[in-house]
Structure 1
């Protein structure tokens, strides 16, 4: 690829994707969220020699003019910019529509006008809702169980429409639950680890029975890259999944056993999702991804958790263990 644009490059998965592409010798333009502090998110933590290799574009995914400018003279777009926290979407759904749906529309419109060679639109396993069958393949029905998932369904369908209506070279990339270094404390794995590393012995969680299909961030990033390399993936929706599941309760206990066996789990009522909104089971199929690319997961859950714990030990001051992070 000549040059790749990564929207949401200042975030969790986006920063890892930028880092990996630079290591592979690719040219990267990083679309970061403009703010008056001049903060570039996780990119600010990169060593100077790595950051110097990245072209920074500060803007707002909701602004079509800025998006079009950022996409000029790039051949591939990895669109990851989104609002992702489910609890926050309960009381601020308008912002999710503006960011996730309209932001994606801005990318698609610009790609169509500029003749962009490839567009990878990032979806989420949350669009499936609670599994109606497992493993969940790409033909599974969609169910909007939160305003967040509803806006991601809307963004996905817009992407599909641009492929079918205009021949846009779009692929919808659907990661299941990604975790690893740099993930925010609103996600369950860093939530548990940060509480434990902070010395707390009562670990606050919501429901313990839901299951999730966890993927280490480097495996997710490799999935994006492998999908972008294959012409066979154009026009498709593709899961990135480990095809394994674990309950939140069992996962939390595994982390407790590793860090502080004296700790115990308690239910924090404010962390419980509305009953019909909670996604009770996610277990994804990676069959299509394996068939179309050379992708293979490299990290087991145990290995990924070890890397994540090590990172959080070194960066504990960036996290707030004593509050509920939406």
Structure 2
């Protein structure tokens, strides 16, 4: 669909895993997509800026003149080895972005900030709604929760919406994440795989569905709201391995490596979709089997 210049969206982290799929979703629906960050000239519309350099951010925002912003950039892997980076990028970087957006606030319709379901922490039983208490269990989650509180200080000047995505995966995600690691081992027909805690239950949602939800949320623009991006479909690690075995016909021995068992592991993490469906009424997320088949086919 040709881009509509009245629907200009600035995406931070556009060249990352989620950003690639989000760009496809937005462009397919007529948005003029601009990337912000350490972008290359291969993307038609991009502005180079560093989240920790407020001057470069202000220049980038004035160049793009967005109507919408989707902020994906951040340090995203829970096992990242430098905790300070979580706070530098996820908290301070986001604040810098909001400050840079203030001069163009009159033209902004929605600024979606990607937080994380990890802010709920190690809560057992049931599906978590946005009204559940938060109890972050690691520096990554604390940095995201701090970002949420900070962002609300900018209301009503900046039309902020907070999205809390639960686990998701897809083509292009790093093998440091669980499902891409499993896919890689099955494609290479490895005899064994080393994993962490096998008794964890997660949503393994599809990145294409997450991109769809983000687009629908900026269109609905529920300003000031926090919205889970989730499916309520929890799958155990053992079930994920069984699905991969079924799809490939290959069997792998799963071994627990104590080095991969995280302290303060969140054992069960699933979300309540009630609020999301208020703003994305056509929400029908894919099941892990379909996502795995897509990833296995692409990697084969």
TM-score of the two chains, using structure 2 as the length reference: 0.91
- Kindly provide the CA deviation profile for residues 219-272 of structure 1, in whole angstroms up to 9, marking residues without a partner as x: 1111001111114x1110001111110111221232133225331101122211
Distance 2:277 2:78 in 1: 29
Other-structure match for 1:322: none
Are 1:216 and 1:301, in contact at CA under 8 Å, matched by a contact in 2? yes
1:10-25 counterparts in 2 under 5 A? 10-25=15-30
Selected match of 1:305 from 289, 292, 300: 292
Give the secondary-structure state (helix, strand or coil) at the position aligned to 2:69.
Answer: strand
1:104-123 counterparts in 2 under 5 A? 104-115=94-105, 116-123=108-115
- Kindly provide the CA deviation profile for residues 1-32 of structure 1, in whole angstroms up to 9, marking residues without a partner as x: 53100001011111111122112221111113
Deviation at 1:171, TM superposition (A): 0.2
Count of aligned pairs = 291
- The worse-fitting range, judged by mean Cα deviation, of 265-274 and 127-136 is 127-136
Other-structure match for 1:243: 232
1:252–1:153: structure 2 CA closer, same or farther, 3 Å change rule? Answer: same
Selected match of 2:247 from 244, 252, 258: 258
TM-score of the two chains, using structure 1 as the length reference: 0.84
Other-structure match for 1:27: 32
Distance 1:12 1:66 in 2: 23
Selected match of 1:290 from 270, 277, 292: 277
- Kindly provide the CA deviation profile for residues 144-192 of structure 1, in whole angstroms up to 9, marking residues without a partner as x: 21111111111111112222xx442100011111111111111110011
- The worse-fitting range, judged by mean Cα deviation, of 134-143 and 250-259 is 250-259
Deviation at 1:298, TM superposition (A): 4.4
Distance 1:62 1:185 in 2: 27
- The worse-fitting range, judged by mean Cα deviation, of 105-114 and 221-230 is 105-114
1:65-76 counterparts in 2 under 5 A? 65-72=55-62, 73-76=65-68
Are 1:5 and 1:70, in contact at CA under 8 Å, matched by a contact in 2? no
Are 1:6 and 1:30, in contact at CA under 8 Å, matched by a contact in 2? yes
1:295–1:102: structure 2 CA closer, same or farther, 3 Å change rule? Answer: farther
1:176-195 counterparts in 2 under 5 A? 176-195=166-185
- Kindly provide the CA deviation profile for residues 17-52 of structure 1, in whole angstroms up to 9, marking residues without a partner as x: 112211222111111326xxx5x8xxx6xxxxxx4x
Are 2:243 and 2:289, in contact at CA under 8 Å, matched by a contact in 1? no
Other-structure match for 1:223: 213
- Tell me which stretches of 4 or more aligned residues in structure 1 moved more than 4 Å: none
Gaps of 5+ in 1: 45-50, 314-326
Are 2:203 and 2:269, in contact at CA under 8 Å, matched by a contact in 1? yes
Gaps of 5+ in 2: 1-5
Are 1:214 and 1:241, in contact at CA under 8 Å, matched by a contact in 2? no
Deviation at 1:199, TM superposition (A): 2.6
Are 2:205 and 2:285, in contact at CA under 8 Å, matched by a contact in 1? no
Deviation at 1:285, TM superposition (A): 0.6
- The two structures, once aligned, show a CA RMSD in angstroms of 1.7
- Kindly provide the CA deviation profile for residues 286-316 of structure 1, in whole angstroms up to 9, marking residues without a partner as x: 1101123334124222111111111222xxx
